[in-house]
Amino acid sequence: MKTGVAILATALAVSVQAKDPDVLSYGSPESAGMLSKPLRDMVANLTAFTRRGDYGGFNEDNKPIEPGGTTLVARNGIVVSRFGFGKRDLYGAFNATTNVATELPPEEQEDASIDTIYDMASLTKLFTSVAALQQIDKGTISLYSTVASYVPAFAVNGKDNVTIEQLVTHTSGFPPDPSPPLYNLTVYPTYESRIEAILNAPLENAPGAAFVYSDLNFMSLMIVIETVAGKPLDQLIYDFTVPMGMLSTFFNRGNVEGPAFPFYPRMATEEFQIAVLGPGEPQRPQPVRGTVHDENAWALDGVSGHAGLFSTVDDTAKFCQMILNNGTYNGRRILSQDAVDMIFHNYNTKFPSDSHGVGFELDQYYTAGPMANPRAASHTGFTGTTLVVDRASNTLFLHFSNRVHPSRDWSSNNIVREAVGYWVAKALGRDVAFPSY
């Protein structure tokens, strides 16, 4: 039985932890040295992009840019703006011949809200990267060692010398996607055969010779860290997200369909995938909702290093703040300062427009708009998600969307991503131009 002193000590430890300044809190823009008006104006402006209109090269036929989204901005550890807008579930049917989607009756439509859970798509790569950085901190892997030194079966088809650094900066030489795709279940009937396909995948460039964004890099990274840590990737990620209080961040391992999956009601609806792309797509209820949109991640049981994670902006803001805090959150150390510095270090000086830290892109206008700079680490996800962590201004901003609902072909939401960066820059008092469209 605990003594009174032990209970008091526990209570004190808890209260000290709760007051830790490295935890996100809520406050006015002014309390974070920002202006309120641009952040207020941002809400109506982002909402306007959910309506039909001519958005230049970002859409065709006046299609909306996205049905809705959820956005969060924080500076100096203070959340200064967070809101949902538009719809997380809007269309009930899609006709591929006419490219026309039919809206659900109004009472069946669902608003995008602050707690809407989005398919993170390639933002998953950032969480896989943090899991890999933890292994670097532990000394179980090194950035400069070859993949084959941890997974000998990788040393085929010219991949003997591919390094971990090349995986996390997309310079390994891999083509963009596995071919044939892993979701061709005739070619790859089992999970094991799909992992083997990743290990056997050939290169299209010599290692280090070119920057080519490839999901194969992060599928391979998953295999490396699962091998050295002896745990599945989802468990390795939960090992740091759960202690940070990220309880709406998860993979749907096993691709559980429909309301049988506990988070289903809060999850954004995605694409009428089979109608848009044809019968070769994964056979599952349409539109895709609740299971991972990315077909190769679906084929890997819903868990891969390149896609598969779902999250909310509130949860992911904690992940970003941990990075701005140089590795800690709520008094817990997740990464060393050296590991965080590797996120912001540009390993791709050979490829000037493709600056890249470990897992994160650097200095990208299409993700961050006018906030882009060499100390802004960012990434996007195919479904419409965006994450920016800017060391230069101690700011993080997130824009999550289900822009592939009803079809991936309707629009690019880069204009909304850039717009968020514009409004954040305006709120910092900067004189910048609205991104052109």
Ligand X SMILES: *[C@@H]1O[C@H](CO)[C@@H](O)[C@H](O)[C@H]1NC(C)=O
Residues at the contact surface with ligand X, assessed by CB under 6 A:
45, 48-49, 95, 97-98, 158, 160-161, 325-326, 434
312 or 355: whose CB is closer to ligand X? 355
- Residue that is written with structure tokens 């609740």 in the block: 290
Name the minimum Å distance from CB 161 to ligand X. 4
Using Cβ positions, the residue closest to ligand X within the complex turns out to be 48
48 or 228: whose CB is closer to ligand X? 48
192 or 431: whose CB is closer to ligand X? 431
Name the minimum Å distance from CB 290 to ligand X. 23
Structure tokens at 223: 């295999």
Q: What is the DSSP string of 150-180?
A: T-GGG--TT-TT-BHHHHHTT-S---SS-SS
Q: Which residues of 345-367 are buried (b: 16+ CB within 10 A; e: fewer)?
A: ebbbeebeebbbbbbbbbbbbbb
234 or 281: whose CB is closer to ligand X? 281
Q: Which residues of 94-103 are buried (b: 16+ CB within 10 A; e: fewer)?
A: beeeebebee
Name the minimum Å distance from CB 160 to ligand X. 4
129 or 304: whose CB is closer to ligand X? 129
288 or 425: whose CB is closer to ligand X? 425
Name the minimum Å distance from CB 44 to ligand X. 8
Name the minimum Å distance from CB 148 to ligand X. 10
Name the minimum Å distance from CB 399 to ligand X. 14
Name the minimum Å distance from CB 203 to ligand X. 9
161 or 373: whose CB is closer to ligand X? 161
Q: What are the phi and psi torsion angles at 91 (to 5°)?
A: -105, 140
Name the minimum Å distance from CB 9 to ligand X. 28
How many Å apart are CA 343 and CA 132, to the nearest integer?
Answer: 11
- Burial bucket for residue 249 (CB in 10 Å: 0-12, 13-18, 19+): buried
How many Å apart are CA 130 and CA 122, to the nearest integer?
Answer: 14
137 or 239: whose CB is closer to ligand X? 137
Name the minimum Å distance from CB 327 to ligand X. 9
Expressed in angstroms, the distance from the first to the final Cα of the chain is: 67
Q: Does residue 114 sit in helix, strand or coil?
A: coil
Confirm if 226 and 311 have CB atoms less than 8 A apart: no
Q: What are the phi and psi torsion angles at 401 (to 5°)?
A: -150, 160
Name the minimum Å distance from CB 172 to ligand X. 12
How many Å apart are CA 371 and CA 421, to the nearest integer?
Answer: 5
How many Å apart are CA 296 and CA 292, to the nearest integer?
Answer: 9
- Burial bucket for residue 331 (CB in 10 Å: 0-12, 13-18, 19+): middle
How many Å apart are CA 295 and CA 211, to the nearest integer?
Answer: 23
72 or 335: whose CB is closer to ligand X? 335
Name the minimum Å distance from CB 68 to ligand X. 14
Residue 404 CA neighbour count, 13 Å, CB half: 27
The answer to whether the bond into 180 is cis (omega within 30° of 0) is: yes
101 or 246: whose CB is closer to ligand X? 101
63 or 194: whose CB is closer to ligand X? 63
Structure tokens at 424: 């954040």
